[in-house]
Amino acid sequence: MATLKIIKKRIVSVKNTQKITKAMKLVSAAKLRRATEKAHSSRPYEEELLHMVSSILQDVEWKSPLIVERPENKVAFVVVSTDRGLCGSLNTNNFKNVLKRVSELPNSKIQIIALGKKANDFFRKRGFDVHSVYLDMARNGNFAFIESIAKKIRELFIDETFDRVEVFYSRFESAISQKTETFTLLPFVPPKKEGQTSFIYEPAAAELLDSLVPMLLDFRLFRVVLESVASEYGARMAAMDSATRNARDMIERLTLQRNRARQAAITKELMEIIGGAEALVA
């Protein structure tokens, strides 16, 4: 049985841990609001771009290396993760989704483009070929930075370094719910639009698509990063809230154990005093 001194040290240690988890929860909650606003506001913009591109493609046959479909011999997985831990099962669920997709492509050469330290560490340890690594999406993930990454990915696809590019990320649903999702970035396959609408384009429709499709691809990757950052803050806030409550419960159990140990020590001392007094009387 633990001594009274050891129990007191454990209580102090757990209280210090509780202060840290509570502070991390408050910090994540403060950052979550801004990240959530950015993630939510990016969705309508992407949807409108998709709608615009789909409408134009109804009226014109567009030829571009970005839409060329090739045998999936060389596949790139863009995996968006966090740089730090303490965010529950957020990264684990995303990585499981990647590994499941890997098992579906046994004959393909797969390379990882890691957007986050955790993705880089996870796949390197398991022997995957990590093509490139980009860190600290929460701080560096502005549009200009993501645009440069998307441009490099487009160039690699056009040069036939990759035959297909898929993106894996965590979509933000709420502070306690993040959903792992994946989609094909390249080759670009626009969604089919119901109904027929004719427009007069200036400049020509093909020239518009030459500008709009790369812009759409850049923004899709940017939106994915915004979703992942919001998911990270939400998952960390929930994880730290749970850790804080667990620490509180542990402190209560240790306090009860301390009181029992102290009562036992007092009882033992009283018994020794009574035994000593009886011995003197005898």
Burial 142-170 (b: 16+ CB within 10 A, else e): eeebbbebbeebbebbeeeebbbbbbbbb
Rounded to a whole number, what is the largest CA-CA distance in the chain?
Answer: 117
Are the CB atoms for 281 and 31 separated by under 8 Å?
no
How many Å apart are CA 150 and CA 158, to the nearest integer? 12
Task: Say whether 27 is catalytic.
Answer: no
Cα first-last separation, the chain: 35
Alpha-carbon span 217 to 205, nearest angstrom: 18
Closest-CA residue to 233 (of 40, 88, 95, 128): 88
DSSP state of 65: G
Q: Which of 14, 39, 87, 224 is catalytic?
A: 87
Pairing of strands 177-186, 164-174: antiparallel
DSSP H helical segments within 71-125, as ranges? 90-103, 117-125
**Which residues are designated catalytic?**
87
